[in-house]
Amino acid sequence: MTDLLVAGAGPTGLTLACDLARRGVEVRIVDRSAEFPTGSRGKGLSPRTLEVLDDLGVIDKTLASGVTHLPHRRYRGAEIISEVDPEAGREPTDDIPYPVGLLIPQWRVEQILRERLAGLGVTVEPASELTGLTQDTDGVTAAVGDTTIRARYLAACDGGRSTVRKLLGLTLRGETPDVQQMDVGDVEVDGLSRDAWHQWLTPTGGIMLCPLPGTRSFQVQAAGGEGFQQTFDRIAGVPGVRLHEPTWRSTYRVQVRMVDRLRAGRVFLAGDAAHVHPIAGGLGMNTGIQDAYNLGWKLGLVIKGQAGEGLLDTYEQERLPIAASLLNITSEVLTEILESIRHRGGGLDAGTTHDLSQLTLKYPWSRLSRQTVDHPGTPRAGDRAADGRIGGRRLFDLFRGPHFTLLGPPAAESGTSALVQAHGVENAQTLTLVRPDGYLGLIADPTDLSAVSRYLEDL
Ligand SMILES: Cc1cc2nc3c(=O)[nH]c(=O)nc-3n(C[C@H](O)[C@H](O)[C@H](O)COP(=O)(O)OP(=O)(O)OC[C@H]3O[C@@H](n4cnc5c(N)ncnc54)[C@H](O)[C@@H]3O)c2cc1C
């Protein structure tokens, strides 16, 4: 019997496995593929996801593998008609150390997470497809390859075509908008510079070529249904540009769909298994990573007997509304981009009026957001815990790891326990308990240490 079986080793499953493994929970992670993916697929990490990767201890490697501020360069034929950095002017601050998204191929994110996981003593079991599933009061029995695995809990991180979701009889509800199917792939390109995301967008078709950092390849996205070079020649028609050495090719159709439950007994759905987005907002991989990060600490505490089963219900209570609102945002972004291309000669930057940083996501409605004092104009329970400095120390350094962090007057330091690391702050106006996933759980009167113990008992 293992504590947790993770089905699917994409970004969602790997994040969950890392978070549980660092908590000393026994975790197995299986994937039906015999080989790790090498195609770029998702290529953007949001500022909030970068904070998650900071907490998981892989931020330096991640930042070193990507680029920021790559301009969108739009053309008509060989003529440049605009060049925009949609995130221009966003500089790091004490509160927000990663203010802009990072361009990085998804396979590299997965590789970094697999290396972190291996460092924690867990390796992905390849060529291991989950095909069957039963559950009882003590655990889940999964048919995987030609064996069975018994686990206390199962996390379905098996992507948009999730087998687990189908075995549970859950459906992805929503729509498949009437938008042309796109071709996507990784190719080498002669005749284009690597200092911009090159885009030719017309009302009747388009092609975009984005250099992938750390490689010689570009990700090409095209509406055409023909060879990439043919689409390029037909739409861009720039002589001397040659697309060659394709290493990956796929197609995608825009989907706006999600399930109406994230939990069925001892099984949890996360990432694309639970919601599929238009890629226009670039939020699919990010939302999956953040689902996993929300679920990880809760499963960790329950498996270790430090919290009651009911804590696991808060995963769905918190993440289902977030999934719904992100689906709305990504479909609005898609509509605005398509409208702009069709009618105003615009491009991808038409969607950047929306906040895609995910830094403002919060859980004010959650029973885990508790506030007993109110100082207008200051952060509220359920908000993201911002970075900053106290007494010369960086807050994200204090938060990093699987614990809760308590910030309050020096007397609060007595609140340190197996679950909580407490730090005294001169003239603290409140007691603030930061959840392991970096959200404000409790804001209480600075003298009310018992509020902290009540909060933890109620978990
Ligand atoms: C062209 C393109 C561009 C994109 N751009 C972005 C972007 O910029 N930003 C962004 O955030 N997202 C982007 N996305 C979306 C992103 O790729 C997905 O949202 C992301 O892969 C979801 O991660 P996941 O771990 O939930 O699922 P997946 O990555 O699909 O991983 C699921 C894993 O489960 C395995 N599996 C499936 N069935 C089984 C089974 N029965 N048993 C065992 N294993 C199984 C699969 O082999 C796979 O490894 C893009 C996607 C595409 C195609």
- Cβ partners under 8 Å of residue 177, min gap 6: 254, 256, 278, 331, 334
What is the whole-number distance in angstroms between the Cα of residue 24 and the centre of ligand 1? Answer: 26
Kindly give the number of the ligand 1 atom that is closest to the alpha carbon of 49.
11
| Secondary structure element (H or E) that encloses residue 18, with its range | helix 11-21
CA distance linking residue 369 with residue 373, whole number of Å:
12
Fold of 2-66+104-174+257-353: FAD/NAD(P)-binding domain (3.50.50)
pTM here?
0.96
pLDDT in tens, the chain (459 residues): 999 999 999 999 999 999 999 999 999 999 999 999 999 999 999 999 999 999 999 999 999 999 999 999 999 999 999 999 989 999 999 999 999 999 999 999 999 999 999 999 999 999 999 999 999 999 999 999 999 999 999 999 999 999 999 999 999 998 887 777 789 999 999 999 999 999 998 877 889 999 999 999 999 999 878 899 999 999 999 999 999 999 999 988 778 889 999 999 999 999 999 999 877 777 889 999 999 999 999 999 999 999 999 999 999 999 999 999 888 887 777 777 767 766 666 666 666 666 788 999 999 999 999 999 988 889 999 999 999 999 889 999 999 999 999 999 998 888 889 999 999 998 899 999 999 999 999 999 999 999 999 999 999
What is the whole-number distance in angstroms between the Cα of residue 450 and the centre of ligand 1? Answer: 44
**Minimal-distance CA residue to ligand 1 atom 20:** 285
What is the whole-number distance in angstroms between the Cα of residue 378 and the centre of ligand 1? Answer: 37
Amino acid at 46: S
**pLDDT score recorded for residue 151:** 98
**pLDDT score recorded for residue 277:** 82
Q: Answer yes or no: are the C-beta atoms of 195 and 161 closer than 8 Å.
A: no
Q: Which residues pair with 371 in a beta bridge?
A: 443
To test the ligand 1 pocket, which listed residue (158, 267, 289) has its Cβ within 8 A of the most ligand atoms? 158
**Minimal-distance CA residue to ligand 1 atom 9:** 282
Please report where in the chains the tokens 């690391």 appear, as a residue.
421
Please count the other Cβ atoms lying within 10 Å of the Cβ belonging to residue 26.
15
Query: Of the candidates 101, 106, 97, which has an alpha carbon nearest to the alpha carbon of residue 85?
Result: 101
To test the ligand 1 pocket, which listed residue (117, 128, 285) has its Cβ within 8 A of the most ligand atoms? 285
- At the top level of CATH, the class of 70-96+180-252 is alpha beta
To test the ligand 1 pocket, which listed residue (6, 29, 30, 32) has its Cβ within 8 A of the most ligand atoms? 32
**pLDDT score recorded for residue 278:** 77
CA distance linking residue 281 with residue 298, whole number of Å:
28
Going from N- to C-terminal start, the domains of the chain cover 2-66+104-174+257-353, 70-96+180-252, 370-458
What is the whole-number distance in angstroms between the Cα of residue 98 and the centre of ligand 1? Answer: 24
Choosing among 3.40.50.80, 3.40.50.2300, 3.30.70.20, 3.40.30.120, the CATH entry for 370-458 is 3.40.30.120
- Cβ partners under 8 Å of residue 248, min gap 6: 38, 39, 40, 185, 186
**Minimal-distance CA residue to ligand 1 atom 50:** 42
Give the phi and the psi of residue 37 in degrees, each rounded to 5.
-65, 145
**pLDDT score recorded for residue 343:** 64
CA distance linking residue 355 with residue 112, whole number of Å:
27
Q: Answer yes or no: are the C-beta atoms of 29 and 117 closer than 8 Å.
A: yes
Residues with CB under 6 A from ligand 1: 7-13, 30-33, 41-44, 106, 129-130, 157-159, 163, 184, 252, 271-272, 279, 282-286, 288
